[in-house]
Amino acid sequence: MPIDAACHTDRGLRANNEDAAHVDAALGFALLADGLGGPPGGEVASALAVDAAARVLRRALSGAPDPDLAAEALREAFDAAQEEIRRRALATPELRGMGTTLVTVVVTGARYVVAHVGDSRAYLVRAGHATALTSDHSWVQERVAAGLLTPEEARVHAYRNLVTRALGLDASAHPDVGHGALEPGDVVLLTSDGVHGVLSDRLIAELARGRAPEAAARALVEGALGAGGSDNATAAVLRLRREPLNLETRDS
Ligand code: MN
């Protein structure tokens, strides 16, 4: 299925933008990384992760692979990102503690394959509803899953930024990988917590629906910052085109 894609980012009220994103409409993939605050080098880690993973995906996806091969390519992409960060951290003492989240989606045929570590998310927006395709690797999400916090409490919790899995020297790079079916008109979007930490799923669906990817990505980022978000805010949007009307012309 043909795809349109775009991404948009804004540093919000922060001095640096430690988010990074990239989309490839032709090959049908998107990536988004959010460098961990606290240790220095968040913006280095997120840029390295996106670049290294994109390099693997460009090579692996050029033959329009089936979903199993796409999942394999995503695992390889996460390994490459982790290795790149590890190498740079070992070579640069002041960057030793750097880390990043990474979420990626590949659309192949009428299916998506999603992989992530950390608390950056993938959503499927269909018929005006946004459904999360990922479950955050975060301190608060573990407590939501155990019934100890509600999603509303998690959104404003003092520890909401604590991720339990990330790419980095001392971190486990192992991604969760999931897949599912897509329909024409579906939108798959990736967001950093600067977006989904501020906007409800309902608002995310509202801002994404009926807009081309470029406008949708911008609306999500500006919506988050306009709603009081102060973190770096980033969105990457893939939209599956609806089949055009069959206007095939015949030579007479
Ligand atoms: Mn963030």
Task: State the distance from the centre of ligand 1 to the C-alpha of 193, rounded, in angstroms.
Answer: 5
Query: What local confidence, expressed as pLDDT, does residue 245 receive?
Result: 52
SS3 131: strand
All residues at 6 or more sequence positions from 16 whose CB lies less than 8 Å from its CB, including other chains: 42, 43, 232
Question: Is pLDDT above 50 for 189?
Answer: yes
C-alpha of residue 227 to centroid of ligand 1, in Å: 15
Give 65 Cα–ligand 1 centroid separation in angstroms: 32
CB neighbours of 43 closer than 8 A, spacing ≥ 6? 16, 17, 18, 20, 35
CA 42 to ligand 1 center in whole angstroms? 10
Question: What's the pLDDT tens digit per position in 133-184?
Answer: 999 999 999 999 999 999 889 988 999 989 999 999 776 779 999 999 999 9
Question: How far is ligand 1, taken at its centre, from the CA of residue 248, in Å?
Answer: 47
Please tell me the predicted confidence (pLDDT) of residue 207.
97
Cβ pair 137, 164 in contact under 8 A: yes
Percent of the chain exceeding pLDDT 90 equals: 84
Residue range 42-71, pLDDT digits in tens = 999 999 999 999 999 999 998 877 889 999
Helices (H) then strands (E): counts for the chain? 7, 12
Q: 207: CA distance to ligand 1 center in Å? A: 20
Task: Look at residue 92 and tell me whether its pLDDT is greater than 70.
Answer: yes
Query: Is residue 204 very low, low, confident or very high in pLDDT (cuts 50, 70, 90)?
Result: very high
Instruction: Locate 219 and state its tokens.
Output: 């609306």
| CA of 67 relative to ligand 1 center, distance in Å | 29
Residue 100, number of CB atoms within 10 A of its CB: 32
β-sheet bridge partners, residue 138: 163
Percent of the chain scoring above 70 in pLDDT: 95
What does the mean pLDDT of the chain come to?
Answer: 93
Helix (H) or strand (E) holding 20: strand 19-24
Structure confidence at residue 252 (pLDDT):
45
Distance (angstroms) between ligand 1 centre and the Cα of 34 equals 6
Q: What is the pLDDT of residues 213-245, one digit of tens each?
A: 999 999 999 999 999 999 999 999 999 998 765
